[in-house]
Structure 1
Amino acid sequence: MPDVFKRIEWATHRVFGDEPVCVHVGNVGECDIKHHPTYPKFREAALVAGIKSAATSRLWESIIAMGRLCDLDGDSTWRMGVLDCIAPCFRPVSVRIARDFRVELEEIQSAMVVTALEVWNDTAKGVPPRHVRDRMVKAANEVAYRRGRIGSSEYSTDDVNIFFRPENSVGESGLRASSIIDVNNIRDPDVLEQITGERDGALFQRLGHFDVLHQYHEELRAGRRSGSISQSVKSGLSRAWFSNPNLYYYASDRYPPFIGLREAAEVMDISEAAAHRMIRAGQFPFPAARAGRGYRISVKALMHFMDIPDAIIHADDVENGALHAGGGVQRSTP
C-alpha cells in the first residue's frame, strides 16, 4: 500500500499533469517568461533548491507566494504542490524514526504532514515567504521525533484528508460606492444584481473610462472574449433566463490578472520602495509572486485588500448605469 507521501505525489501529478507549469503568474500563456518546465522537472528543481537553501531561493519564494494566492481563491492546488516538493525530505527521517523507536511508519508520516500544514496556516501573515519552507520542515521533523519518543497514536492518516478538502473562499467585502440606495437592505436578488451593475457603470462614466469598458463589452457580444464565470454559476443567476448569460462577467475579468509592484503600490498609496521592504519583511498584506527580478501582483488579491468587490455583473446593467450617468438613453433589456 502506498504511503501518505506517495499518495500526495500522485494526487499532485494528477492535478498538474505533464503540461508546463508557471509559478510566476500561474498561467503559462500570460507569463513574460517564455520557457516553463513540466511539473516533474519543476519538482526536481524545487527539491534541489530547498536542500541547498530555501531561504535564498527565488524559486521557493515564488512557490510559497503562488500557494498563498491560491489560498485566497480557496484553491489548494499550489499548497498541494508545496507539500509535494517538501515531502521527499520527510521520508528518510520518518523511516529512521519508525525503525529506531519501533512505531508505525504511517503514523509518523501522517503526523509530519499534518504539522507541516499547520505551520503553513500559521505563517500566512507576518512570515517572509523565504522562511516558510524551512519552518514547515523543521516543525515536521520535531513532531516526528516527539511522536517516536512517546510512541502513541495521537494522529491518524484520516487527518491528512483536510488537505484535499476545498476551503471556503474568502468572503467578498461590501459595496462601497456612494448611493442613495443601501444595497445591504435589498432582499430581491434581481434588483440587487441590476443596481450593482448600474452603479459600476455610472462610476466608470464619471471617471471618464467607459470607452475602454464598452470595447470589452463589444468583444463579449461578438464572442471574441468570455468572462471567467463557469456555466454552472451562470445558470444559477436569477436573471439569466431573460438576459444573455454570456454577458455576465466578474468585475476583475476586465483587468489584467497581474500588474507590476509599482502600479500596485500606487493603488495602495505607498511607495514602491516601501512595498519592497514590506515583502522582504513578510509584512506585505497579500502574496506577491516572483517574476524574474521583480514581482507580479494579483489584481484579485489587490481588489480584496482594497475592499473592491469582485461582483458578478451584466454588461447591459453596466452600460445602463453609464448611459444614465452621462444623460443618455437606457439600453433595452429583453
Structure 2
Amino acid sequence: MRQPTYSKFRSEAISARVRSASSSRLWESMIAMGRLCDLDGDDTWRLVILDCIVPCFRSLSAKISRDFQVEREEIRSAMVASALEVWVGTSAGVPPCHVRDRMVKAAFEVAFRYCNAATSSAYSMDGEGLFFEPEIPAQVSALKASSIIDVNSIRDVDVAEQIRVERLGALFQGAGCFDTVRGFHDELRAGRRSGSVSRARKSSGLSRSLISDSNLYYYASDLYPSYIGLREAAVVMGIAESAAHRLIRAGQFPFPVARAGRSYKVSVRALMHFKDIPDAIVHVDDIENGSLHAGGSAR
C-alpha cells in the first residue's frame, strides 16, 4: 500500500483538528508517536505535531500584530513556546486525545495576553471580577480594605471562603445587578431552585456546610446566563469581534459556539473554562453581606 506524502498527511491532520481533535484517531496516533519518540530522545514527531498545529496560530497572530502593533513573529514564537511547555507538562497523566487541545488553548492564552497588555478593557479576567469590572462607588472604600488581605494565606478555610464570596457580592452590587441576585436567592430560600445547589455543598468539603442549609449553597455560574453573544465573549477573550468571526470561519475558535440566527452565541461555562475562571461555590449570606457592605449598609 502506497504511503501518503507528508503534505497530504499534514493536510489531513489540519483538517482533522477542525472536526475536533478529541474525536480524531489520527491526532491520538500522532500524540502517541510523539511520546514514543521523546523516550528515544527523538523530536521528529514533536516537530510534526507542531507543524500541524501552527497553521491555526496564523490568523490570530496576524490580527493581533496588525491591531496592536506587535511583531507577528514575536507573538507566534510565544504561542509555539507555550504549546511546547504544555507538551512537556502533559507527558504523564493526560490522555493523548486532550493534549492537542491543551496546547492550542495555552497558545491562544499567550496571544490574548498581548492584547490585554496593549489595551485596557472594561472586563475583568480574574476569578472574582468574572466578566465585568464595575466602577466601585465611594461607599465601597471600607470594603476595599479587605482586598489587602491575601485570601490564599488564610488558614481557616471557612473564613477565606466568606471573604472571597463577599468580594463577589460587592462586585454584583457595584455593577447594579444585585436585584437579579436577590431574586435568585429568594427562589433558593423558597425551595423553587435545586440541582447544582446540593451538589455544590457536597463537593465543597467545607465544614461550615455541615451546619448550613445545603440549599443555600450554589455555583456562581448559576447566576449567569447560559450563553452570551460573540461580541461580549470576544471582549472577555481580549480580541475584536471580527477576529472571533474569522476564527470561527476557519475552524480555529478555541471552543464550540452555537448558531443564533445570523449570529453566534457562546456558552458562558465554556468561556469560563477556557479563561480558567473558577466556578466558585458561594453561600447566599456571604454574597448578600458583601453587597450590603458595598452599599454602605450593615446587616
TM-score, L = length of structure 1: 0.47
1:240 aligned counterpart, secondary structure: helix
* Mapped contact 1:264–1:302 kept (Cα < 8 A): yes
Aligned to 1:196: 164
Q: What do the CA deviations read for 1:244-295 (whole angstroms, capped 9, x no partner)?
A: 12221121121122222123124445432121123345554x3132436643
Measured against aligned partners, the alpha-carbon deviations of 1:55-80 in whole angstroms (never above 9, x if no partner) come to: 999xx95x63xx7xxxxxxxxxxx4x
Assess, with a 3 A threshold, how the Cα gap between structure 1 residues 291 and 111 changes in structure 2: closer, same or farther: same
Find 2:178's aligned residue among 196, 203, 210: 210
CA RMSD in angstroms comes to 4.5
Of the candidates 283, 289, 304, which is equivalent to residue 257 of structure 2?
289
Any residues of structure 2 matched to 1:183-332 within 5 Å, and which? 183-226=151-194, 228=196, 230=199, 233-234=202-203, 236-268=205-237, 270-281=239-250, 284=253, 286-291=254-259, 294-306=263-275, 308-330=277-299
Cα deviation, 1:207-247, whole Å, max 9, x if unaligned, reads 21111111111112222223525267347222101221222
How far apart, CA to CA, are the structure 2 residues paired with 1:237 and 1:316? 15
- In 1, the alpha carbon distance for the partners of 2:201 and 2:179 equals 30
For 1:244 and 1:208, how far apart are their aligned partners in 2?
Answer: 27
CA contact (8 A) 1:268 1:306 kept: yes
Question: AA paired with 1:278?
Answer: L
Shift in CA distance, 305/318, structure 1 to aligned 2, threshold 3 Å? same
The structure-2 alpha-carbon separation of the partners of 1:164 and 1:277, relative to structure 1 and needing over 3 Å to count, comes to closer
C-alpha change, 1:283 and 1:126, in structure 2 (3 Å) is farther
Map 1:64-103 → 2, pairs under 5 A: 64=20, 79=22, 82-83=23-24
By how many angstroms is 1:329 displaced?
A: 3.2
Partner-residue secondary structure (3-state), 2:207:
coil
Change (3 A) 1:116 1:259: farther
Q: 1:234 to 1:54 in 2, by over 3 A?
A: closer
C-alpha distance in 1, partners of 2:54/2:225? 28
Contact residue 201 and residue 218 of structure 2 kept, 8 A: no
> Structure 1 residues 214, 239: CA separation in 2 closer, same or farther (over 3 Å shift)?
same
Aligned residue pairs, count? 202
Amino acid at match of 1:271: A
Quick one: structure 1 residues 294 and 122, their matched pair in 2 at CA, closer, same or farther if it must change by over 3 Å? farther
- Map 1:23-172; keep pairs closer than 5 Å: 64=20, 79=22, 82-83=23-24, 114=32, 162=95
Q: Name the amino acid aligned to 2:233.
A: A
* Partners of 1:164 and 1:268 in 2: CA distance: 24
Distance (whole Å) between structure 2 residues aligned to residue 240 and residue 233 of structure 1: 8
| Equivalent-residue separation in structure 2 for 1:174 and 1:275 (angstroms) | 23
Cα distance in 2, alignment partners of residues 282 and 302 from structure 1: 17
Kept after mapping to 2: 8 A contact 1:202/1:321: yes
Contact in 2 for aligned 1:126/1:282 (Cα 8 Å)? no
Q: 1:325 to 1:231 in 2, by over 3 A?
A: closer
Letter in 1 for 2:285: D
1:85-136 CA distance string (max 9 Å, x none): x69xxxxxxxxxxxxxxxxxxxxxx9689569999x97997565xxxxxxxx
Provide the C-alpha distance between the structure 2 equivalents of 1:308 and 1:280, rounded to a whole number of angstroms. 26
Rounded to whole Å, the distance in 1 between the matches of 2:158 and 2:151 is 12
Residue type of the alignment partner of 1:324: H
User: How far 1:206 sits from its partner (Å)?
Assistant: 1.5
**Which is helix-richer, 1 or 2?**
2
SS at match of 2:222: helix
* One-letter amino acid matched to 1:185: S
CA contact (8 A) 2:200 2:217 kept: no
CA contact (8 A) 1:261 1:297 kept: yes
Q: Secondary structure at the match of 1:239?
A: helix
* 8 A contact 1:125–1:282 mirrored in 2: no
Query: How far apart in 1 are the matches of 2:267 and 2:34?
Result: 26
